A and B are shown apart, each in its own frame.
Chain A
Amino acid sequence: MLAYVVRRVLATIPVMLVVAFVVFSMLMLAPGDPAAVIAGDQATPQDVERIRQALGLDRPFFVQFADFLWRLVHLDLGTSIFTNLPVTHMIAQRIEPTLALMVLTIVLAVSVAVPLGVVAAWKAGSWIDRGVMLFAVFGFSVPVFVVGYLLAYFVALEWELLPVQGYTPLSQGFLPFLENLILPAIALGTVYIALIARITRATMLEVLAQDYIRTARAKGLGTRPILFLHALKNAAVPISTVVGIGIALLIGGAVVTESVFAIPGLGRLTVDAILRRDYPVIQGVVLLFSFVYVLINLLIDLLYTLFDPRIRY
């Protein structure tokens, strides 16, 4: 097990290198020039060129890449071209809201979607089942920002129950923190709930048809232990796989959610950096995201062993 984890973590290194190279090449080959953005509209072409030189952006591709790698080896992600702040500092500033949003969304989604999917499978064909499936279709087809706007409009503006936007750090109290995150988590979680509810229902339908469920019923077990222990534990592997895959979906959705609710998270940092061509920041964030994604997949693989004793590494 430990050897497996070490092997998997080591295997991320070449993956990260490839990611680094691809991201770097894409940025260098894509159109756009941070020097021109910095200089602003009232600067002359000469000024733009001077700024480009000062930033070292006029150096050959491989020189810049080697420089980038060299710093990366020293865990230095560089400095933002625009703010002059270290990229690590900017990421650190932004990581809490994104992490909080993701964790809350996952907790919310799993705790809503799994019971929904279980009940839908148990009552397959009933109005509850149809209702859950209808919601799933809705969740898949309505974009995050539409859900976000609707929530903000009704819950925040019309009924004045929660704030429209913004973020309060956890350090300023759990309640204010939660107030700001509930709507974004619901908006972001909708598609995720749909996804998990559907896979839960499908997997549970399959599991509930298994012989050991008949055995459990023949033993006199009630509905709840059958559904939530005997069946759900067997369905946990496919469900957690989808939860893991869905995190990639969440990362994408977080960008939009953070914009709609003005949450100062990594998603918005990324978009802002891309629009400005702030190369070091883009590289840093993309590397972080891919690292987190690889890590989450490892975590999920390890989680499998918890659910299914037949899986061993």
Chain B
Amino acid sequence: MTTSMADRLLEVEDLRTHFRTPDGVVRAVDGVSFHIAAGETLAVVGESGCGKSVTSMSILRLIPEPPGKVTGRIMFRGRDLLSLSEREMRQIRGNEISMIFQEPMTSLNPVLTVGRQIRETLKLHQGLDDRAAEARAIEMLDLVHIPEARRRVKEYPHQLSGGMRQRVMIAMALACNPKLLIADEPTTALDVTIQAQILDLMRELKAKVGAAILLITHDLGVVAEMAKRIVVMYAGRKVEEARANDLFRTPRHPYTRGLLGAVPKLGSSLASDAPSRLAEIPGIVPNLKKPIIGCAFASRCTEATELCRKVAPPIEAKAPGHFVACHHAAREAVAA
């Protein structure tokens, strides 16, 4: 273990997010555990539908209940978020934990000025008056390098470009100096050049503000640039967790290997035109409406055996700080 329990800002234990639908229960997240230390950047990767976004939404308790149902434990600074009242939760959202989303084009309210949307958070959580909130909003826009901040606060989202809007989202998210920033695919919808700028900005601000980041992405190039540690999810479960270097160098789960197959070269994805998305893996993701027996990846795995189809592999440390849920993953001589 690289961090002691005390350092842990967020600890997710056995998180299960299930949705009741007319034709069965969808197990979108099914027993995921991970942690983030203060100031750390953790990436959660996986194909779309693997449950990574639901995981982030579950942490902020933004899953509508019903039809959703979230169980497990989400310890944040010593409190289990799942046991808090909605009122207490609202004091955490946007304040101690804030979030930015994939779609900067639609994530801002089109009929309210940018300034108003930033001020709102400040007034709510920091108790600032209009004038102070306005000053702080301008300051935040400056911080995220939006030129003419004083004019821009009075503008509406449709008057800004996509990159600008994501900067506004970041400014809004960081306005109250959160301890944890959840970034759900923050650059996916942006042009390649803008992506680089936004990532630069996030790194810069992280250094300034000192927030931990939970980065949700399917872009391994982004992960490589940002994260120290990576969690790989498949079909609502965590299949591998390791330090970034270890994971890229020696992916141990067949699924992770499949994902990495298409990334041409570490760290070069942003500069090149080569696809930086996850590789295509033959086969389809299992239906989450039925309980999965055995390894969820077994049906697509070239190495799957009878054991894989019958018994779900437990997640085990196969090397120091490197956890894998695969019956066939090689175990290094673990020093620990």
Contact = CB atoms under 8 A, between A and B. Distances in A.
Nearest to A216: B109
B111 A220 contact: no
Contact of A230 (B92, B95, B112, B156): B112
Interface residues of A, number: 22
B120 interface: yes
Q: Which of A218, A221, A233 has the most CB of B within 10 A?
A: A218
Contacts, number: 72
Given A211-B101, A218-B93, A219-B172, A230 B121 contact: no
B250 interface: no
B120 A221 contact: yes
A233 B112 CA distance: 9
A115 B84 CA distance: 29
Interface in A242-286: none
B156 A219 contact: no
Interface residues of B, number: 28
Contact of B109 (A218, A220, A234, A236): A234
B20 to A, nearest CB: 12
B99 A309 contact: no
A310 B109 contact: no
B98 A307 contact: no
A217 interface: yes
A288 B220 CA distance: 68
Interface string A273-313: 00000000000000000000000000000000001111000
Nearest to A229: B112
A208 to B, nearest CB: 10
Contacts of B158: 309-310
A218 to B, nearest CB: 4
B121 A220 contact: yes
B124 A220 contact: yes
A138 interface: no
- Interface of A, secondary structure class, is helix
Contacts of A233: 109, 111-112
A212 B110 CA distance: 8
Interface string A209-232: 011101111111110010001100
Contacts of B93: 217-220
Nearest to B169: A215
A206 to B, nearest CB: 13
Nearest to B158: A310
Contacts of A234: 109-111
A153 B156 CA distance: 53
B111 A214 contact: no
Contacts of B225: none
A214 B107 contact: yes
Contact of B91 (A220, A225, A308): A220
Given A218-B62, A218-B94, A310 B108 contact: no
A42 B91 CA distance: 84
B90 interface: yes
Nearest to B95: A220
A211 B107 contact: yes
A299 to B, nearest CB: 19
Interface in B94-125: 94-95, 98-99, 101, 103, 106-113, 120-121, 124-125
Interface in A63-107: none
A78 B106 CA distance: 57
Contacts of A230: 109, 112
B174 to A, nearest CB: 12
B201 to A, nearest CB: 18
A128 to B, nearest CB: 15
Interface string B50-77: 0000000000101000000000000000
Contacts of B94: 218-221
B90 A212 contact: no
A308 B172 contact: no
B156 A309 contact: yes
B108 A215 contact: yes
Given A211-B107, A215-B169, A221-B94, 8 more contacts: A211-B103, A214-B62, A218-B60, A218-B93, A220-B92, A220-B125, A309-B110, A310-B156
